[in-house]
Amino acid sequence: MRVDLTDSLSSLLPKEAFGFSVPSSLPAALRTDVETIIAPGSVEEVAMLLQWASERGVGVVPIGTGGHTYPRCPSDPFIVLTTSRLNEIQHYEPADLTMAAGAGVLIRDLATEMAIHGQWLPFDPPDVRNRTLGGLVATGLSGPLWAGYGQLRNHVLGATIVCGNGQTVRLGGKVVKNVAGFDILKPMVGSRGELAIITSATVRIFPLPVLDRLLVLEAADISELVPTARAIATAPIMPASVSLRATSNRSRLLVRLHGAQVSVDSDQKSLEKHTSVSFEVRDSPEDQSLMLEERGGGMNTEPAVRVWALPSRIDALLDVLKQVPGASLNADVYGGSVRVYLPEQISDIESSLTGLQKDIEELGGTMRALQIPAEVNASAYFTKPLADEGELASGLKRAFDPQSILWGIG
């Protein structure tokens, strides 16, 4: 089948779209079963590929780098579409604080370009620098910095997408107020590649803060830090982010303050007075590596799940997660979301995941499987949507991907 698909596509796409090896960062199931990997070099090539796949009923899994892809278990022939060749910065206006770039541009490359002008994209999901712009938008992950800057979906101003049937649609524009009627750009942010392939995106960017101060509070157990984290939520000032990181032998509360020196000093005093604790201050560039380490901690560990609950229930959520032997946690306190990394050699993963899912749902929360061994049915560990939510999602799927060829990234 692999040879047949490649031969069929070779008459449709230029030779530059072929010859790519399957990234080692892909989950094992994808590396084993993928028929071929294609790297279109333009929107037109993406459209031709999806029209071809739609006519033949061939599944398509879109990836950026492939390092953050957690698709459902494959059961039919499929190809991997990588956006790696859609990697140009198309439009950058520092004075307007907007940037348009291809979906395959790495965030670290955008960061280098923006830093020249004292600007940045203030979102910090795990391993953000090694993600692509398209992957960031498709997952819709803002990271804890959303507390200070708002959700990513509010800062995606436009996008070019290719639907499952090959139709190309240009959404939004280069300014904030550009929508009349139903804003179909918003469903694309966080759609995880299941509705359409994002080929480029326009985002709003921000000035770099004069001072990025990291405040650290350590404890032997994460439960000792939760009262302080919750107290920060009622403080008279709003930090840029508040996150908790816990492993088997160490727990840390990490608070970021952004602004001018005088305002950051004032905000720190207000926080310490309100919470009745003294934080350790980390201002040096070396300390920023700590933040990156903490945000990406456990990324290469299997298995992993993400759980959510109301932020007001973060203490109860963490109490449940603490009962999982050997687990490490990375929690967004304001968002009520936690990445849970389980021991690689866990004895009965299916039983552990089933029990964890039951406990989370009893709290009114939800769970999504991320990195799961190939032999485990990951789709069983997704909290099912409510009936109305499921109907809406199905309707969107039929509208954008009529033949249901886009498998998405989890």
> According to the model, what pLDDT value does residue 262 have?
96
Q: Are 174 and 100 in contact (CB under 8 A)?
A: yes
pLDDT in tens, 246-286: 987 889 999 999 999 999 999 999 999 999 999 999 877 66
pLDDT at position 287 over 80: no
Angle separating helix axes 2-10 and 43-56, nearest 10 degrees: 130
pLDDT in tens, 224-241: 998 999 899 889 999 999
Strands 78-82 and 59-63 turn out to be parallel
Q: Are 9 and 77 in contact (CB under 8 A)?
A: no
199 contact partners, CB below 8 Å, separation of at least 6: 43, 46, 83, 86, 102, 103, 134, 160, 161, 162
* Of the candidate ranges 74-83, 158-167, 200-209, the one whose mean pLDDT is the lowest: 74-83
What is the distance between the alpha carbons of residues 280 and 265, in angstroms, rounded to a whole number? Answer: 13
User: CATH topology for 1-208+384-410?
Assistant: 3.30.465
241 contact partners, CB below 8 Å, separation of at least 6: 124, 143, 144, 145, 146, 147, 148, 254, 255, 256, 332, 334
Beta strands in 178-259 (DSSP E): 196-204, 206-207, 211-219, 241-246, 251-259
Which single residue is written with the structure tokens 């965030």?
A: 107
Q: Are 280 and 215 in contact (CB under 8 A)?
A: yes
Q: What letter does residue 20 receive in the DSSP assignment?
A: P
User: In 204-260, where does DSSP find H-type helix?
Assistant: 226-233
pLDDT at position 300 over 70: no
Nearest 5°: the CA angle 198, 392, 82 is 20
Chain centre to alpha carbon of residue 15: 32
Per mean pLDDT, which of 88-102, 181-195, 336-350, 388-402 is the most reliable? 88-102
Q: Which of 74, 38, 68 is nearest to 141 (CA)?
A: 68
Which single residue is written with the structure tokens 């997952």?
A: 139
Residues of the chain within CATH 3.30.70.100 domain(s) are 297-376
What dihedral do alpha carbons 354, 359, 363, 364 form, nearest 10°?
Answer: 10
Q: Looking at the chain, how many residues does it have?
A: 410
For residue 117, the SS3 value is: coil
CATH 3.30.70.100 fits 297-376, yes or no: yes
CATH 3.30.70 fits 209-296, yes or no: yes
DSSP readout, 256-306? EEEE-HHHHHHHHHHHHHHHT--PEEE-SHHHHHHHHHHHHTTTT-SSEEE
What is the distance between the alpha carbons of residues 95 and 292, in angstroms, rounded to a whole number? Answer: 28
pLDDT in tens, 130-175: 899 999 999 998 999 999 999 999 999 999 999 999 999 999 876 5
Q: Which two tokens stand for residue 54?
A: 């739609």
Task: With cut-offs at 50, 70 and 90, classify the pLDDT of residue 97.
Answer: very high
Residues of the chain within CATH 3.30.465.10 domain(s) are 1-208+384-410
What is the distance between the alpha carbons of residues 234 and 227, in angstroms, rounded to a whole number? Answer: 11
